Amino acid sequence: MASSEDKTGVFNLRDLSGGKRCCDCEGTGQLRIDSDNITEDFRVERQVVLTECNACFGTGFVPAG
């Protein structure tokens, strides 16, 4: 059973303050990779792949250290 925090979108304010925004993902926590694939019919399929940023581990902020 999910906790009530999951349903209401409760977050920790300390996560938003302090720390420098990640330069790799510009603070979003996600990386966008644009990809073009050519099919057998010579059609171009464009895809956008979203993945978690490895530099900030999806938080959007650079870890202190």
Residue 4: strand, helix, or coil: helix
First vs last C-alpha separation in the chain:
36
Walking along the chain (65 residues) 10 residues at a time, the average pLDDT comes out as 58 63 89 89 91 88 72
The pair of structure tokens assigned to 20 is 């420098």
63: its two tokens? 């870890």
- Considering the entire predicted model, what is its pTM? 0.52
Let me know if residue 9 belongs to a domain. Answer: no
Give the per-residue pLDDT at 21: 87
Q: What is the CB neighbour count within 10 angstroms for residue 52?
A: 12
- Spatial distance between the Cα atoms of 54 and 60, rounded to a whole number of angstroms: 10
pLDDT given for residue 30 in this prediction: 92
**What is the per-residue pLDDT for 10?**
67
Task: Give domain status of residue 14, yes or no.
Answer: no
Domain membership of residue 31 as a residue range: 19-65
Cα 40–Cα 44–Cα 45 angle in degrees, nearest 5: 100
Count of domains forming the chain = 1
